[in-house]
Amino acid sequence: MSDYRRIAVLDIGKTNAKVVVLDAATGAEITAAKMANTVRRDGPYPHYDVEALWSFTLDALRRFAKEPGFDAISITTHGASAALIGADGRLAMPVIDYEHEYPQAIRDAYDALRPPFGETRSPRLSMGLNIGAQLHYQKTAFPDDFAKVAAIVTYPQYWAARLTGVAANEVTSLGCHTDLWNPQTGAYSSLVDTLGIRPLMAPIRPAFDALGPVLPEIAGTIGASVPVYCGIHDSNASLLPHLVARKAPFSVVSTGTWVINFAVGGDLEHLDPARDTLANVDAYGRAVPSSRFMGGREFEILSAEIGDVAEEDVRAALPAVIARVLMLTPNVAPGSGPFPGREREWVNAEGARPAERHAAACLYLALMNEACLGLIGAGGPTIVEGPFAANGLYLTLLAALTRRPVIAVPGSTGTSQGASLLTGIAPVSTLETRTEPSAIAGLDAYRAAWLAALSRR
């Protein structure tokens, strides 16, 4: 175990980015800075404002190096992103927003050359959610720019490279529905050679590796020379502490913009690529059956439409919502999840009060999550991390629907705490709230009506 006292974590989510300093002994957040992760519309395609993120990161590290100080830097970011680096170490092409949709001809061409699901356990996803599709688009649509690429790195490792000058790739990001990885063999898939990019792929390093100290010029800027660890995909960062502390079977529901479900000890052989299931790869290189839907984005949309409602009012409205069979069917955010190709619809909602719609939204999220967990053979307790861990009604409903305990891990630093473990510090115990499954009158009939509504559409 390391003797680090404090760890700085760069944590870039799809919606927000933050730099957090954590106490290595307790896992407590000592200080944090946050900014929105914006998408720029200039240039060849929509792309992340990496220079704004870089300025934010350096400023936060400079301030935090003075007070409270830190001994190492770890990194975690969202998946479905890669950086194309030129021979000069700078970006050869902007880091594409994975929500950008490509022309139909390019999509059709990619569909014809991508490997089968049986090889990659990576489903064909919309937009640029497969990194292989991104690379194919960039190479096909912008051949002159792509010709200047000297190295391809996954997104956490891009930031590690900017800090250390060392280019690397890492398996949790490569194994995150990229089409580029074969989780059965623990090696690149055939797509890497089909695209002709094997010579460009940076060496694979373990997430736990210290790639080196920060570059001298960065040490001068922030006022500290500390080691930088390779980094990890954010949902796998949330999973890591549980892999260390728990025995299978259990599942982890990592919530943010996306709700990512991991079934440790689940079913890898019956994954359904048409329903947004896949194999993720954990920090130790092992395949983990997974599923997802864009639940955080959906709840954000619904909350903005419905307005603020007190939790006690929402709970009080639940029996009437169930009795009335007031429901929301998928999908609020299209393009992902266990029920693809559907557009949302409110049912029996005429004249519904905001509290009733909010309760129906919580039912919707719990039903979607139950479906996702069922598809991957989840068993044992369900650990919920991130914003949904604070939604008491959702937790109650998920426990009742799955008939398994739900353990909420509160706080906003689940990914940051997981990333901090890459530095060799010991995992710390965290405050958990356990919700045991209990019967809710009419819930089984409500679920049956919800599924029947889906089958009719």
> For residue 59, with 0-12 CB atoms within 10 Å meaning exposed, 13-18 middle and 19 or more buried, which class applies?
middle
Nearest to 94 by CA among 82, 102, 80: 82
Residue 95: both structure tokens together:
């880091």
Looking at residue 349, its pLDDT comes to: 97
Extract the runs of DSSP E, i.e. beta strands, from 61-113: 72-77, 82-86, 91-93
Q: How far is CA 312 from the centre of its chain?
A: 30
Residue 8: both structure tokens together:
């700085």
CB 150 within 8 Å of CB 86: yes
DSSP-assigned letters across all residues of 164-175: HS---B-HHHHT
Lowest mean pLDDT among 122-126, 152-156, 213-217: 122-126
Contacts of 121 (CB under 8 A, 6+ apart): 183, 184, 268, 271, 278, 279, 287
Predicted confidence (pLDDT) per residue in 4-57, tens digit: 999 999 999 999 999 999 999 998 899 999 999 999 999 999 999 999 999 999
318 vs 245, higher pLDDT: 318
Predicted confidence (pLDDT) per residue in 153-170, tens digit: 999 999 999 999 999 999
pLDDT band at 93 (very low <50, low <70, confident <90, very high): very high
Extract the runs of DSSP E, i.e. beta strands, from 183-247: 187-188, 210-213, 227-229, 232-233
Mean pLDDT, residues 318-341 taken together? 95
Residue 255: both structure tokens together:
């919530």
Looking at residue 386, its pLDDT comes to: 86
Looking at residue 412, its pLDDT comes to: 52
Contacts of 213 (CB under 8 A, 6+ apart): 164, 219, 225, 226, 227, 228
Which domains are assigned to the chain? 6-230 (3.30.420.40), 235-456 (3.30.420.40)
CA distances from 383 to 315, 406, 434 (A): 22, 6, 9
Predicted confidence (pLDDT) per residue in 412-436, tens digit: 557 899 999 999 998 887 778 999 9
> For residue 103, with 0-12 CB atoms within 10 Å meaning exposed, 13-18 middle and 19 or more buried, which class applies?
exposed
Could you tell me the end-to-end alpha-carbon distance of the chain, in angstroms, rounded to an integer? Answer: 55
Handedness of CA 98, 100, 106, 107 (dihedral sign): positive
Label the pairing between strands 345-347 and 327-329. Answer: antiparallel
Looking at residue 110, its pLDDT comes to: 98
Predicted confidence (pLDDT) per residue in 224-271, tens digit: 999 999 999 998 998 999 998 899 999 999 898 899 999 999 988 889
Nearest to 47 by CA among 38, 55, 56: 38
CA distances from 430 to 88, 390, 399, 413, 445 (A): 44, 15, 20, 11, 36
Predicted confidence (pLDDT) per residue in 75-85, tens digit: 999 999 999 99
CB 347 within 8 Å of CB 327: yes
Looking at residue 455, its pLDDT comes to: 87
Residue with tokens 């000297």: 150
Residue with tokens 């990885």: 181
- Count Cα atoms within 13 angstroms, Cβ side, for 114: 28
| CA angle 160–165–167, rounded 5-degree value | 65
Predicted confidence (pLDDT) per residue in 180-215, tens digit: 999 999 999 999 999 999 999 999 999 999 999 999
Cross-strand bridge partners of residue 65: none
CB 139 within 8 Å of CB 146: yes
